[in-house]
Structure 1
Amino acid sequence: MLNSSISDSAGIARRKTPLNRSQIAGFWGAWAGWTLDGMDSFIYALVLTPALTELLPRSGYAATPANVGLAGSILFALFLVGWGLSFIWGPLADRFGRTRVLAGTIFTFAIFTGLSATAHNVWELGIYRFIAGVGIGGEWALAGTYVAEAWPEDRRKMGAGYLQTGYYAGFFLAAALNYTVGVHFGWRAMFLTGAVPVFVAIMILTRVKESEKWQRAEARDVVHVKPMRAIFAPTYRRRTWVMCALLTIAIIGLWAGAVYEPSAVIQLATRAGMAKPEATKMASMATGLLSIGTILGCLALPPLAERIGRKKTLAIYFGGMAVAIVGAFGWAFYLPNGLAPFIAWLFVLGFFGGNFALFSLWLPELFETRVRATAFAFCTSFGRFVGAGVNFLLGAAVLSMHTLGVPVALTAIAFVLGLLVIPFAKETKGEVLPQ
């Protein structure tokens, strides 16, 4: 009898709180937004060469490999600056609610990604990508905030891991579209597919309820706080800057590897004797493998963070990223027959690139509801500003050194510096989400 009671109690303890219809719809809306967000982000990397080869001559520049590389880096830097400006969505979400502002971010990046298909020169493409970046960056922060607040406490940590997989499923989707649509219909058709998220935004507006945590916080605050000022007050100042530093490191390293991965694979495939169409397809398949690795890394991260803590988990993932970047771009890229080893390293790079799932889990635990969206948006945006500058320098280094591998491999230094910053972060293992 006693054993039966113990067994029943253990079963109750293990049983997760069921999700209601709004929580399920909200998650899938946020996940779909992140998927299309990731797809949009990576479309540019996949169509970089054909788009600029066509648009540079129309803009008065020769479409040489050097000019394509430099212009690509500048346009991507503009995209990251747009991401950086996405911190404007955070205070709006803290003031007016998560769901309406989340839908607004999706409308923004969908419309301007679609408009990229109409670009007549590199300047128009740069403007469209800049504004799309503003929307994409906001969607990431607000979707993470919404799921953290809307899901029950015993589910939200895995929810962060599940949510992050959407972004990299978007990479896989972009690779699949490039393998089919891009190869046959060109880069403009690829950008047109980025307009699809408009329907996700409509679903969020019509079917998803506002998070109860935000509603309670809104009801308590008779005088609204200024969230940007609050996250730099003594209570939160250190947390804000430490998270800014860690996210900056994650963005520098992951984006350097992910953005230049298709170009590296195409170069290696061409060197191995493949024709251009086959090399492009190989880049798409390599991107798919990178995405699968990252999805697995995202799913493995929350249980590990619950077991050993957030700080130790991030240290493992940062260390893995440093090794993988050097292994792929510093070693395999220069082998006489480096295509297969490079692609194998991409899977490892993808797995440890799942470190972003930790920030979706960890950041909401560091800030109370009335400033959570602002803190999430600001910390992620700060890293993108720095990442934009680093990406520009990286493009200049590629142009100057006449090689892709070494400049990208050097970004591993950022993760070594990250290991020195992690001890200054606040550990939140076992703590509930602040009200």
Structure 2
Amino acid sequence: MDYRKKTVVASVTGLTLEGMDIMFISFAMTMIIAEFHVDLATGGMISSITNIGMLVGGIVFGILADKYGRVKVFTYTVILFAIGTALTGIATSIEQVFVFRFIAGIGAGGEYGIGMALVAEAWPKNKQGRASSYVSVGAQYGVILAALLSAIILPTLGWRALFFVGVVPVIFAFIVRKNLDESPEWLAAQKNKKTVNKAEKGKLVQLFETPRITFTTLSLIVMATVQIAGYNGLMIWLPSMLQQSQGLSVSSSALWTISTAVGMIIGMLTFGRFLDRFGAKYAFGVFLIASAFAVFLYAYATGSMGLLIGGAIVGFFSNGMFAGYGALIGSLYPVQIRSTATNTIFNCGRAIGGFSPILVGYILQSYDMKVAMLYLAGLYCISFIVMMTLKKSDLGNVSETI
């Protein structure tokens, strides 16, 4: 297997394990709330604390990966995330669950950006979109894997056993460390004394070094926030919305979830090729506008087939764009700060966008599904406007992706 394929396999597997771990909380939430006798709001804090951990881990490990190497730090993030997941299974209080999920979040937050940086540095610019899409579908594989494991483990062994599966990524980390060489582009940068000296100035500061770079960084954070807010708002609340508004059973809403996830996977793979062929501005522009229309119109869908097909279309456009962020951010920042930029920007989006379900819940409580979908459609319109402000010369070293 050549180096390019190895980077994709390693990054896909890492994101699959991360996606699986995050979904474990969703499937085990009812049991955790019941065991520790806490209310729904307290249970919901588990996800928020995990997202905050991701932000911290993204910044810290992004900087370390730019300084000490992608592969070395990547393995540490996977091990830390595995430890946090396994420890969750022995928590004796909700406070311990918070602490262990924060630890798992730190590891997961570091893993994403480093994996994306590895892929960006291994693949040629005209194929980075599709390579990024191959990695991004890992999160959906994780959702499916979590669903299967939860169906098998939860009824028989309980929620604690589910999190003990968290030791598996440790094995994966050792395999990666043994079989994957360091990024050639990063190694070349380290040999350049001038580049090294520049890197020592402080990578996080470099994301806000000039007004234009600051504007670009903040614009990308807004786009990442919309991406996460839209995804969380749809996947967490839509099954409940459909159960209430359309009278669907739980099993029917589960079928909707699978249909939407399949649409997301196809959308990611399609978006990657769109990105390579037409560039980021056109690809993101088309998918953002299509997402706004698809989400808004979905509020008027009726009938089983309409809901299933509509869900797949919404998933295709709204989460298809997830595949492009690694390539987009990687193209806008040089190798010296690429991992820091990817992790910081996307995990800021995770931390902020992770609160979207709270707002969607408030809208549903005060209004109805149509208003909630209008809110989500509005988010995609905001992201479209922001995307149109990005220019090829934003950082003075931008690839042809824009």
Alignment partner of 2:164 out of 182, 185, 192: 192
Correspondence 1:411 to 2:383: no
Superposition pairs of residues 359-378 of structure 1, within 5 angstroms: 359-378=325-344
In structure 1, C-alpha distance between the alignment counterparts of 2:154 and 2:253, rounded to whole Å: 12
In 2, Cα distance between equivalents of 1:265 and 1:121? 34
What displacement does 1:159 show?
A: 0.9
> Cα offset for 1:308?
2.7
Q: Tell me how far 1:299 sits from its aligned partner.
A: 0.8
Partner of 2:23: 42
Q: Does 1:214 align with 2:186?
A: yes
Distance 2:67 2:380 in 1: 35
Counterpart of 1:81, as a letter, is I
State the distance in 2 between where 1:378 and 1:261 align.
Answer: 29
1:50, CA displacement in angstroms? Answer: 3.0
Bigger-Rg structure (1/2): 1
Match of 1:21 in 2: 2
8 Å contact 1:45–1:262 — kept in the other structure? no
CA RMSD, aligned part only?
2.8
Asked whether the equivalents of residues 26 and 147 of structure 1 are also in contact (C-alpha less than 8 Å), the reply is yes
Residue 194 of structure 1: CA displacement? 3.4
What is the percent sequence identity of the aligned residues? 26
Matched, 1:204 2:176: yes
Find the residue that maps to 1:414 and give its secondary structure.
helix
Q: Which amino acid aligns with 1:228?
A: L
**1:175 offset after TM fit, Å?**
2.1
Query: 2:182 aligns to what SS in structure 1?
Result: coil
Q: Does the 8 Å contact 1:301/1:313 carry over to 2? A: yes
- Structure 1 pair 195/291, CA: closer, same or farther in 2 (3 Å)? farther
> Which of the residues 313, 316, 322 maps onto 2:292?
322
Is contact 2:279–2:400 with CA below 8 Å preserved after alignment? no
Q: Does 1:425 align with 2:390?
A: yes
How much does 1:388 deviate?
3.6
The separation in 2 between residues aligned to 1:47 and 1:319, in whole angstroms, is 35
Partner of residue 74, structure 1:
45
Q: TM-score, normalised by structure 2?
A: 0.87
Is residue 366 of structure 2 the alignment partner of residue 401 of structure 1?
yes
Aligned in 2, Cα 1:256/1:388: closer, same or farther, shift over 3 Å?
Answer: same
Residue 267 of structure 2 aligns with which residue?
A: 297
Confirm whether residue 288 of structure 1 aligns to residue 261 of structure 2: no
Q: Which residue of 1 aligns with 2:321?
A: 355
Structure 1 unaligned spans of 5+:
1-19, 62-66
Return the letter of the residue paired with 2:9: W
2:207 is matched with which residue? 231
Alignment CA distance shift 1:120-1:290 (3 Å): farther
Output the CA distance in 2 between the equivalents of 1:282 and 1:291: 14
* Aligned position for 2:141: 169
Q: Distance in 2 between matches of 1:387 and 1:74?
A: 14
How far apart are 1:427 and its partner, in Å? 4.6
Q: Which moved more, 1:314-323 or 1:400-409?
A: 400-409
**Deviations, residues 225-245 of structure 1 (Å, cap 9, x unaligned):** 321122211263232121111
Structure 2 portions without partners, runs of 5+: none
Out of 237, 242, 252, which is 1:260 matched to? 237
Q: Residue in 2 aligned with 1:93?
A: 65
What SS does structure 2 have at the residue aligned with 1:236? helix
1:382 is paired with a residue whose SS is helix
CA distance in 1, matches of 2:307, 2:156: 27
Give the aligned length. 390
| Structure 1 residues 422 and 180, CA gap change in structure 2 (3 angstroms) | same
Shift of 1:408: 6.3
Post-superposition offset of 1:327: 4.4
The 3-state SS of whatever aligns with 2:137 is helix
